[in-house]
Structure 1
Amino acid sequence: MKAQWRVLADHRNFRRLFGGDSISLLGSSVTTVALPLTAVLVLGASPVQMGLLGAVSFLPHLVLGLPAGVWVDRLSYRRVIVGADLLAAAALTAVPILAATGVLRMWQLYVVVVITGTCSLFSVIAAQSFAPLLVPRRELLTANSAFALSNSVVATSGSALGGVLVQLLTAPAAIAVDAASFLLSAISKARITVTGRSTAAGQAKESLFKGIRGGWRAALEHPALRATTVAATVGALAGQMQVVIVVLFLVRDLGLSAGLVGLVIAVAGVAGIVGASIGVQITGRLGNGPAFIVGTTLSSLAGLVMAAAGGPTALALTVVIIAQLLRGWGPTLWGINQQTIRQILIPPELLARTQATWRFLVHGMQPIGALLGGTLGALAGFRATLVISSLIMLTSTTLALLSPLRTLRQLPDTETPTPSRH
Structure 2
Amino acid sequence: MESVKVQWRVLVDHRDFLRLFVGNSVSLLGSSVTTVALPLTAVLVLGASPVQMGLLGAVSFLPHLVLGLPAGVWVDRLSYRRVIVGADLLAAAALTAVPILAATGLLQMWQLYVVVVVTGTCSLFSVIAAQSFAPVLVPRRELLAANSALALSNSVVATSGNALGGVLVQLLTAPVAIAVDAVSFLLSALSNARITVAGRSVADSAKESMFKGIWAGFRAALEHPALRATTIAATVGALAGQMQGVIVVLFLVRDLGLSAGLVGLAFAVSGLAGIVGATIGVQITGRLGNGPAFIVGTTLSSLAGLVMAAAGGPPALALAVVIIAQLLRGWGPSLWGINQQTIRQTLTPPALLARTQATWRFLVHGTQPIGALLGGTLATLTSFRTTLVISSLIMLLSTTLALFSPLRTLRQLPDADIATHSR
For 1:419 and 1:208, locate their aligned partners in 2 and report how far apart those are by CA, in whole Å: 22
For 2:351 and 2:363, locate their aligned partners in 1 and report how far apart those are by CA, in whole Å: 20
Contact 2:202–2:421 (CA under 8 A) maintained in structure 1: no
Name the residue aligned to 2:347. Answer: 345
Given candidates 68, 73, 79, the residue that maps to 1:76 is 79
For 1:183 and 1:251, locate their aligned partners in 2 and report how far apart those are by CA, in whole Å: 39
Displacement after TM superposition at 1:418 (Å) = 3.9
Name the residue aligned to 2:302. Answer: 300
Displacement after TM superposition at 1:336 (Å) = 0.2
Q: Does 1:147 align with 2:143?
A: no
Name the residue aligned to 1:61. Answer: 64
Given candidates 18, 21, 28, the residue that maps to 1:18 is 21
For 2:267 and 2:116, locate their aligned partners in 1 and report how far apart those are by CA, in whole Å: 25
Report the aligned-residue RMSD.
0.6
Name the residue aligned to 1:169. Answer: 172
For this pair of structures, how many residues does the alignment match?
Answer: 420
Contact 2:64–2:361 (CA under 8 A) maintained in structure 1: yes
For 1:269 and 1:375, locate their aligned partners in 2 and report how far apart those are by CA, in whole Å: 28
Deviation digits for residues 92-112 of structure 1 (CA, Å, limit 9, x no counterpart):
000000000000000000000
Deviation digits for residues 287-314 of structure 1 (CA, Å, limit 9, x no counterpart):
0000000000000000000000111111
Given candidates 187, 195, 208, the residue that maps to 2:210 is 208
Where does structure 1 differ by over 2 angstroms across 4 or more consecutive aligned residues?
none
For 2:5 and 2:328, locate their aligned partners in 1 and report how far apart those are by CA, in whole Å: 23
For 1:9 and 1:44, locate their aligned partners in 2 and report how far apart those are by CA, in whole Å: 48
For 2:371 and 2:242, locate their aligned partners in 1 and report how far apart those are by CA, in whole Å: 5
For 2:158 and 2:32, locate their aligned partners in 1 and report how far apart those are by CA, in whole Å: 7
Name the residue aligned to 2:105. Answer: 102
What amino acid sits opposite 2:210 in the alignment? L
Name the residue aligned to 2:273. Answer: 271
Name the residue aligned to 1:417. Answer: 419
Distance verdict in 2 for CA 1:199–1:66, change over 3 Å = farther
Name the residue aligned to 2:394. Answer: 392
Displacement after TM superposition at 1:397 (Å) = 0.4
Aligned-partner SS, 1:148: helix
Displacement after TM superposition at 1:155 (Å) = 1.4
Task: Tell me the TM-score normalised to structure 2 length.
Answer: 0.99
Contact 1:73–1:199 (CA under 8 A) maintained in structure 2: no
For 2:124 and 2:272, locate their aligned partners in 1 and report how far apart those are by CA, in whole Å: 26
For 1:354 and 1:417, locate their aligned partners in 2 and report how far apart those are by CA, in whole Å: 16
Displacement after TM superposition at 1:199 (Å) = 4.2
Name the residue aligned to 1:129. Answer: 132
Name the residue aligned to 1:285. Answer: 287
For 2:101 and 2:124, locate their aligned partners in 1 and report how far apart those are by CA, in whole Å: 25
What amino acid sits opposite 1:57 in the alignment? S
Displacement after TM superposition at 1:379 (Å) = 1.0
Name the residue aligned to 1:401. Answer: 403
Q: Does 1:36 align with 2:39?
A: yes
Aligned-partner SS, 1:415: coil
Deviation digits for residues 217-244 of structure 1 (CA, Å, limit 9, x no counterpart):
0000011000000000000000000011
Q: Does 1:178 align with 2:151?
A: no
How high is the sequence identity, in percent, across the aligned residues?
Answer: 87
Aligned-partner SS, 2:311: coil
Contact 1:74–1:199 (CA under 8 A) maintained in structure 2: no
Structure 2: runs of 5 or more not aligned: none
For 2:192 and 2:157, locate their aligned partners in 1 and report how far apart those are by CA, in whole Å: 19
Contact 2:202–2:420 (CA under 8 A) maintained in structure 1: no
Displacement after TM superposition at 1:393 (Å) = 0.4
For 1:129 and 1:284, locate their aligned partners in 2 and report how far apart those are by CA, in whole Å: 23
Structure 1: runs of 5 or more not aligned: none
For 1:118 and 1:155, locate their aligned partners in 2 and report how far apart those are by CA, in whole Å: 20
Given candidates 240, 256, 260, the residue that maps to 1:258 is 260
Name the residue aligned to 1:27. Answer: 30
Q: Does 1:382 align with 2:384?
A: yes
Deviation digits for residues 278-334 of structure 1 (CA, Å, limit 9, x no counterpart):
000000000000000000000000000000011111111111111000000000000
Task: Tell me the TM-score normalised to structure 1 length.
Answer: 0.99
Given candidates 332, 335, 352, the residue that maps to 1:333 is 335
Contact 2:36–2:165 (CA under 8 A) maintained in structure 1: yes
Name the residue aligned to 1:116. Answer: 119
